[in-house]
Amino acid sequence: MARAILRGYDLAAPDQTAAVRLLGSVVHGYVSLEMGGGFSHSAPDTQEIWPRILDALLRNWPA
């Protein structure tokens, strides 16, 4: 699924692999921290921040 999302970026194979790993790492890390209560001690709400994180990643890829 991640490769389908990244298709619009026209990345070469090595860059596409790096992008898939980056997205996977960000998603896994964020979900793990959220489920473990890592974000429950501060504002803003995680539902507000998640779209901003994805926007920052997509706006800055590829570097």
Cβ proximity of 24 and 2 under 8 Å: yes
Alpha-carbon distance 30 to 20, whole Å? 15
Would you say residue 62 has pLDDT above 70?
Answer: no
Would you say residue 15 has pLDDT above 70?
Answer: yes
Would you say residue 53 has pLDDT above 70?
Answer: yes
Confidence of residue 51 (pLDDT cuts 50, 70, 90): very high
Quote the tokens at residue 33: 């921290």
Quote the tokens at residue 29: 């890390």
- Residue 28, pLDDT score: 95
- Residue 36, pLDDT score: 93
- Residue 57, pLDDT score: 84
58 vs 17, residue with greater confidence: 17
